Amino acid sequence: MEALLVSTGIVALAEMGDKTQLLALLLAARLKKPLPICLGIFTATLVNHACAAAVGQWITTYLGGDAMRWILGISFLAMGAWMLIPDKLDENESNTPARFGAYLTTVFAFFIVEMGDKTQIATVALAARYTEIVWVVVGTTLGMMLANAPVVWFGDRLTRRVPIRTVHIVCALIFAVLGIAALLTSTS
């Protein structure tokens, strides 16, 4: 249960103001089909985070406990620092073709944009930290949906009311605490 709750919370907070959230807003404004867009976000996130979690689990089988502890601790601290840098939607991403329909356009766009993103890297680290990778994937996917579905459905009104900078600082602090806790935890 801890893996689910921590994964959901971390990704939901990390996603606030992220480029994928901006992409969700752009797709909602451009395609005006919230249900297929939300389903596309869900599909892309589930596949992307399942692959990331598998990588996280694979890493733990080849590294010893001490090495993994240091990698996780430093990764979480780096994620905290990364959270303080706001994302901007690249101009190239705004030209997403709609010829494949709202669902497939969203699946492709989200899967590609999520590659190497904060939430994907967080998923790798969380899967390395927790043995229940199914709950990590469920949690990170739920966190992504909690952050992006309201943007798709309520769009511009919602994003103007969310204090993005405050959310980034809170999330950075959470990552820092997790990083310090991982560094201080004994593997014996």
Residue 136 pLDDT more than 70?
yes
DSSP for residue 144: H
Q: Give the gyration radius of the chain's Cα atoms.
A: 16
Cα separation, 84 vs 80, in Å, equals: 7
Percent of the residues in the chain that have a pLDDT greater than 90, as a whole number: 24
Band (pLDDT 50/70/90 cuts) for residue 157 is: low
Number of domains in the chain: 1
The chain-wide mean pLDDT, for the chain, equals 80
Containing domain of residue 142, as a range? 2-184
Range name among 12-16, 76-80, 126-130 with the lowest pLDDT average: 76-80
Residue 97 pLDDT more than 50?
no
Band (pLDDT 50/70/90 cuts) for residue 96 is: very low
Per-residue pLDDT, 171:
64
- Report which of residues 54 and 158 the model is more confident about: 54
Per-residue pLDDT, 17:
72
What are the tens digits of pLDDT across the range 61-91? Answer: 777 667 767 776 787 787 677 767 765 544 4
Q: SS3 string of 19-79?
A: HHHHHHHHHHHHHCCHHHHHHHHHHHHHHHHHHHHHHHHHHHHHCCHHHHHHHHHHHHHHH
